[in-house]
Structure 1
Amino acid sequence: MTRRWMFPSACVVAAALVTGLAGCAHHHPATPAAGPAVSIVEPADGATVSSPFKLRFGVQGLAVAPAGDVVALSGHHHLLINVGPLPAGTSVPFTEQHLHFGKGQTETEVTLPPGTYKLTAQFANGAHQSYGPALSQTITVTVK
């Protein structure tokens, strides 16, 4: 599997705010009162895509920050391919099915062979420890 890394724009948020974030990270469509949320903004659930395809993560109520320091209400994205969400506190493995975006990236290009895939966005802290299923989203895509 080949992947291209897309570095974040100027919207990497360095600090968590207790009141929530209005930063420029892509937002989950839930209402602000819904609390922290993680999503896959693009592609849409059920989409048929050509490889490589653009994948954008969304986050609400959390700061996106590079791996390293463990800071409350912050972390970074992981893309799990054909793997469901990880329990809270579980370290995200470093495998071809567990892609890490430890520089704070919010989008990437993913290259997969034709087939149907379950893609899970999993948010984790600076030590790559999962925030659990509550801060994940799983979609299905078909690569033609």
Structure 2
Amino acid sequence: MIKYLTALAAAAAVSLPLAAAAQMDRTPAPEGANVYIITPSDGERVTSPVTVRFGANNVGVAPSGVDHENTGHHHLLVDTGLPNLNSPIPADDNHIHFGGGQTQTTIDLEPGEHTLRLLMGDARHVPHDPPIASATITITVAE
């Protein structure tokens, strides 16, 4: 608890100029880079667990922490919009990280409608500039 409070205090001490500098530190996106969801398709009715396959054009896939030019790794956004593009992508149930360089996953989803979107992050989990994000797809998980 104390470490957590200390981290919060340190984060609160960050000044606006430092926050602006972090924005300038984003990795440039390779020209023509894009990511997309191969499966499932937009509008598809599926059963859980759902296998999601990721595609990428004009950008390499590398594990997090590996800082090679024109690479990044996938993050699957589930039922959420884009996060703050000037900070590392959160890691929670709505922002799933694939820091090992994975290009597919199987996830459990409750019955109902869900949105899925990919967002590429650099070696530090920060979105590229401009962000490399897929279109949002909507799927329905059957009961």
User: What is the TM-score normalised by the length of structure 1?
Assistant: 0.71
1:116 aligns with 2:113: yes
AA at the equivalent of 2:100: K
**What amino acid maps onto 1:139 in structure 2?**
I
Q: Distance in 2 between matches of 1:133 and 1:139?
A: 20
Q: Verify the 8 A CA contact 1:66 1:76 in the aligned structure 2.
A: yes
* Aligned residues with identical type, % of pairs: 38
Structure 2 equivalent of residue 98 of structure 1: 95
Matched, 1:142 2:140: yes
User: Retained in 2: the 8 A contact 1:77–1:105?
Assistant: yes
Contact persistence 1:62–1:74 (CA under 8 A): yes
What is the aligned partner in structure 2 of residue 8 from structure 1?
none
**Structure with greater strand percent:** 1
Structure 2 equivalent of residue 85 of structure 1: 82
Answer whether contact 1:117 1:141 (CA < 8 A) is retained.
yes
Residue identity opposite 1:80 in structure 2: L
Q: Measured at CA, do residues 57 and 81 of structure 1 come closer, stay the same or move farther in structure 2, by a change above 3 Å? A: same
Quote the offset at 1:133 in angstroms.
7.0
Structure 1 residues 52 and 132 mapped into 2: Cα distance closer, same or farther (>3 Å)? farther
Q: Which has the higher helix share?
A: 2
What count of residue pairs does the alignment treat as equivalent?
112
> Quick one: structure 1 residues 86 and 122, their matched pair in 2 at CA, closer, same or farther if it must change by over 3 Å?
same
One-letter amino acid of the counterpart of residue 57, structure 1: F
Does 2:128 correspond to 1:131? yes
* Alignment gaps of 5+ in structure 1: 1-19, 21-33
Deviation at 1:67, TM superposition (A): 0.3
Indicate conservation of the 8 Å contact 1:87/1:131, yes or no.
Answer: no
RMSD: 1.8
* Residues 91 and 97 of structure 1, relative CA distance in 2, 3 Å threshold: same
Give yes or no for contact 2:74–2:99 (8 Å, CA) kept in 1.
yes
Moved more, 91-100 or 131-140: 131-140
Deviation string for 1:117-137 (max 9, x for gaps)?
Answer: 111111110100012674112
Question: Could you say which structure has the larger radius of gyration?
Answer: 2
Aligned in 2, Cα 1:86/1:73: closer, same or farther, shift over 3 Å? Answer: farther
- Determine the structure 2 residue equivalent to 1:28: none
Return the offset for 1:71: 2.7
- Which one-letter code corresponds to 1:48 in the other structure? R
